[in-house]
Homo-oligomer: A and B are copies of this chain.
Amino acid sequence: MKKYAGQSAMLVAIDCIIFGFDGDELKLLLIQRGLEPEKGKWSLMGGFVKPKEDLEKAAARILKQLTGLEDVYMEQLQAFGDPDRDPVERTLSIAWFALVDIHKYEKQLSDDHHPEWVPVKKLPKLVFDHRKMVDLAKKRLQYKAALHPLLFELLPDRFTIPQLLNLYQALYDKKLDKRNFNRKLLSAKLLIKQKYKKKEGSRRGAFYYKLDKRKYYSNIDAFMSFLPAREIFS
């Protein structure tokens, strides 16, 4: 195997921006960094890409390592390559964002990174350029979710419309009209109505819905505006 002469290599890492929603706030799963430098500081979950490993695989591996979850929605965000972003050694990082059901996570045993779900709106200081990654990920999520059915990935299999409304409101930090939201949502015909929900948070109870997975997967790139889209990006 010949090599390219005179070129210099660098380390390649993955960092994961992991979104979750607890019914009230949009959250990120952060860890306390286990390596020097900045050991113990808040950080995104990350890791190095292995010599024979695909980027997708690496991202999935790292996500699973922290959350125990597989088959999670992930999307490559962007490569971050400032030569000085890691003071130790030049390290390129490919940021991925993931949308997970926060409740599924809670049942998992997490490893020893001391992970915590932190509200996106109250982020602590993060190491390196992780803050930039988070900001970009949030923008990207806002952008994409305004046009595509995506946020279902953050909710359990069964969910109610008020939950979904809360999620949108949390992501965009705006109040939305529930009547209009409802209508748009149902007109997409992606939801299947279930039985009643009793207990939590309401006297009357709200109906559960499930995704019509068939339509969902064939439409995941479909264009539908769940929002007053042109005003949301202001």
The prevalent SS among residues of A at the interface is: loop
Smallest beta-carbon distance A72→chain B, Å: 19
What is the count of identical protomers in the complex?
2
Give the residues from 1 to 56 in chain A that come closer than 8 angstroms, CB to CB, to chain B. 1-4, 7-12, 35-36, 48-55
A158 to B222, CA, bound (A): 35
The residue of chain B having its C-beta at the shortest distance from the C-beta of A52 within the complex is B83
- Given A51-B83, A88-B3, verify A11-B9 contact (CB < 8 Å): yes
A3 to B90, CA, bound (A): 9
A112 to B224, CA, bound (A): 47
By CB atoms of chain B within 10 A, which of A2, A11, A12, A36 has the most? A12
Contact B88 A1 (CB under 8 A): yes
A82 to B90, CA, bound (A): 21
Is A110 among interface residues, defined by CB-CB distance under 8 A? no
- Given A1-B88, A4-B88, verify A55-B81 contact (CB < 8 Å): yes
Residues of B within 8 A of A51 (CB): 8, 10, 83, 90
- Given A9-B9, A230-B223, verify A1-B83 contact (CB < 8 Å): no
9 more contacts with CB within 8 A, not counting A4-B11, A79-B79, are A4-B35, A7-B48, A12-B92, A51-B83, A53-B83, A55-B82, A55-B92, A221-B233, A222-B233
User: Contact residues of A with B, CB < 8 Å?
Assistant: 1-4, 7-12, 35-36, 48-55, 76, 78-79, 81-83, 88-92, 94, 221-224, 229-230, 233
What are the 6 closest A-B residue pairs judged by CB atoms, nearest first?
A9-B9, A55-B81, A223-B230, A7-B48, A79-B79, A8-B51
